[in-house]
Structure 1
Amino acid sequence: MRFKPEAGHGANNGLGIARERLNRIKDQFPEISYGDLWTLAGVAAIQEAGGPTINWRAGRIDGQETDSPPEGRLPDASRPDGKHSRDIFYKMGFNDQEIVALLGAHAMGRCHPDRSGFDGPWTASPTVFTNTFYTELLGRKWVERKWSGPKQFEDKESKSLMMLPADMAMSTDKEFRKWVEVYAKDEKKFFEDFAKVTQKLFELGCNFDEKTKVYQFKPTNA
């Protein structure tokens, strides 16, 4: 994502802000690859927000501009059907359970109209990593928001939380929903599965051997 056209893909809108922040660290430690730095930052952010400990290994080799993939390989938040999510994630080797586990990261952060076009947080505590994405998805009544932006949903009661069309597919698709229900009831199970699938995601395309050191970091607030 350092290069055009990938940096400008619609699904990457707003990520330039994060890249610039991490570039400051890269300037201090030029020996680390961008791939290692970005994945390490992801592991640290999840853990510092109260999420699970995720195994991490170093050794990613950065690509060049000529390696940029065509647009359309990332999830489209506006697609309300489970088929689209499967089309994207099955190609990367993920199953239904892993797709639902990854989406639990929506417990953190929010959407910004000047970036993705969507607006609002998924949960009332967007700086804390929990299983709240699932409990909110199942526990609230969601209605289409009436506004000038792209189609999205808001909770009927407070109108302060939002869900994307692709999020709603997690509750309407039978196979996805059963995992949403599991994670809504059992945060420990969600943390365990999320840690495994996030390591898998962060190591896609990497040829680590058995001797590659595995790191586990302690959060600073532990």
Structure 2
Amino acid sequence: MAPSSTRRRPRNRPASSRSWPARIARWVFGAIFGFVAISLVQVFIYRFVPVPITFTMLFDQNGITKDWTPLSRIDRNMARAAIAGEDSKFCLHHGFDAEAIENAMERNARGGRIRGGSTISQQTAKNVFLWQGGGYARKALEAWYTILIEAIWGKRRIMEVYLNVAETGIGTYGVEAGAIRYFNHSADRLTPMEAGRLAAVLPLPKKRAAIAPTGFTRRHGNAIARRVGIVRRDGLDACLY
């Protein structure tokens, strides 16, 4: 009788090696779920609570001067100036202005001074939750937070937060602190000219000043001041009041 042949059983791979892909997948999905949950909580809290500090403030070596002020106590000229200078379609879009982004890309491709196409909503998302500077990662996070604040906060809250966290001078944050710094009075009584000059400072607050401005800042501030009346007349601030 022929001896029975013995088959060699395949060696099982260690359980640890089989589970690595699953572990990585669980970690990735867990990290994504955790980030989504944390971001939702952040946005929901700041829907009602004043933003206490931002990354920009935290790393500002010039100190922090700020005074949170409800939108109801900020002169309407200021919100109108912000719309005129930064985002004329603020009340019309849902966080992103495709036309402004496309125009900015075309201008930048031609060279010269780099200009962005960010809306007030995008700037608010960046200022509150993220850091300054570019990069695709930050832009992606900015887009996510923009979607959230548009959905959870609404336009009025977005403008209120924007006008309170935007840098208005060296170590100065918010239009209330900016108005006191430059004009020696509260933001509850800003003329179109004062509001226009404050809005002109917002893109480069460390290099521009709203008091006795010169050059581009003066011209831009005057142009914004003139457009404040257009914003009021055309109802471009209708989502706020």
One fold, TM greater than 0.5?
no
**Which structure has greater helix proportion?**
2
TM-score (norm. length: structure 2):
0.27
Q: TM-score, normalised by structure 1?
A: 0.28
